[in-house]
Amino acid sequence: MIKVSSTRRLDRTDVLIVFAEEPSSKDVKPLHKWDALSGDSSRRLAAALEKENFRGKVGQTFVWHAGDSRAERVIVAGAGKAASRDVDMTIRAAGAAAKKAKEIGATKVACALPPAGKLGEERNAQAVTEGLILGAYEFDKYRQAKETKAFEAAEVLGAPERAVKLAEIFARATVYARDLVNTPAGDCAPRHLAEAAKRLAGSNVKVTVWGQKEIEKKGMGGLIGIGKGSDEPYHFIMLKWEGKKGSKKVAIVGKGITFDSGGLCIKPADGMGTMKCDMSGAAAVLATFSALPDLKPDCTVYGYIPAAENMTGGSAVKTGDVLRTASGRTIEVNNTDAEGRVVLADAMTVAREDHPDEMIDLATLTGACVVALGDQVAGMFTNDDNLAAGLDAASKRAGERLWRMPIVAEYRELLKSEIADIKNSGGRGGGAIQGALFLQEWAGDQPWAHLDIAGPAWTDKGLSFCQPGGTGFGVRTLLEYVTAQGK
């Protein structure tokens, strides 16, 4: 991860990043204010942009060999329209610039801030800093020959130090999640998640890991049923950040299926290629706890991760089997590829025993949600308007996209079983809603939100602030949410 610092004065740099805003009309030139460049350089750059028909759209970049006394090269990044620019757009703009700086082999990078506008000085600087770090990220652990060499540091001109510090905490946690998700499933089995959790212990973070004996004693038949088809043992991970006495208690539950073959309802080969990402919810929970000692939120935060592989071994759960969960309720498994909700049922049961004030689960749960919202928006299902408003506000502050989805009570009939309390799949129609309805059975009446992150947790082609692979989606929203509690 690159190191970012704030500076008030620009010394000579290899690459200077500046921003140009998209005009409100196609007949108007892109808007810019480049105080970091000399007047002559600024005029020449504006002329070059006009010649190249640069419009300032988010993700658009232009490299200019300036020969300026302050910068050898300039990268202009499109910042989008001033009236609509938000945290998400700013992160994407800065991420695109960082990617371009890597591409051209930058050795020393400085970045001038775009106009703060409605974001305010600190939020603007934090978003730019996060974008630079996330855009420069590269997962090259398994490469002998590195395709690109990221610059190691960047300076942000005029950024408040507090904003840079916060950005580094948020980005570091996101990178933590990306690294976990990008690691091949053979090197990131349930036991590896348990080991990662144990390394977070200390600094007011308590970690407990249950193995097979404890899980069986607890009667977690959902987790056992899904995990028993693999040679890799299943685990149940619990974390706790102790907040101030009497503070709100927030439980976050993350799906930890470290590889999903689909079980005996096996996936086609092209649908299995990215299934190392099926533990993205768990990665988000662990990443959140990695940042709590730095952020020190007032609220108490609990984390729960049911970790297992969904495989096709001789002892794998069979279609039609009935599993008895820790709650005592039974599940008819009529689709072994709808396994995430089954392990989450047990995790949510244990979570409720700690009497949290509210519960949030994150899961790469359904392809149906990807069909509905695409690959850059998570579906939010919740039984509580206040929790919905809080998560929506946190996602906007974080620059991550949530969209509230309906919970249609009538669809519960689709999950009715003839032999058990519920079945785990009711067919294709309304699949994302069915998944939420299933989980709601274990949430009960307490405030609860389910974030279906199946789309934005992974990117095949890459984004302006992310290489192809895991995105770390949800981490920054969770951090924004828990740090806002009690304020």
Please give the Cα distance from 485 to 487 (Å, whole number). Answer: 6
The residue count of the chain comes to: 487
Radius of gyration of the chain (CA): 24
Taking the alpha carbons at both ends of the chain, their separation in whole angstroms is 31
Tokens of 449: 């939100």
Indicate which residue of 92, 102, 108, 341 is catalytic. 341
- Partners of 63 in the β-ladder: 75
Tokens of 388: 């919905």
**3 state DSSP class of 260:** strand
DSSP secondary structure letters along 129-168: HHHHHHHH----TT-SS-S----SEEEEET--HHHHHHHH
Please give the Cα distance from 47 to 56 (Å, whole number). Answer: 14
Q: Which of 403, 477, 482, 432 is closest to 170 using CA atoms?
A: 477
Determine contact, residues 360/252, Cβ cutoff 8 Å. yes
Indicate which residue of 81, 267, 324, 401 is catalytic. 267
Question: Maximum distance among all alpha carbons in the chain?
Answer: 79
Please give the Cα distance from 152 to 339 (Å, whole number). Answer: 41
**Catalytic residue status for 352:** no
Please give the Cα distance from 275 to 273 (Å, whole number). Answer: 6
φ, ψ of residue 93 to 5 degrees: the values are -65, -50
**Catalytic residue status for 267:** yes
Please give the Cα distance from 455 to 373 (Å, whole number). Answer: 8
The residues carrying an active-site annotation are 267, 341
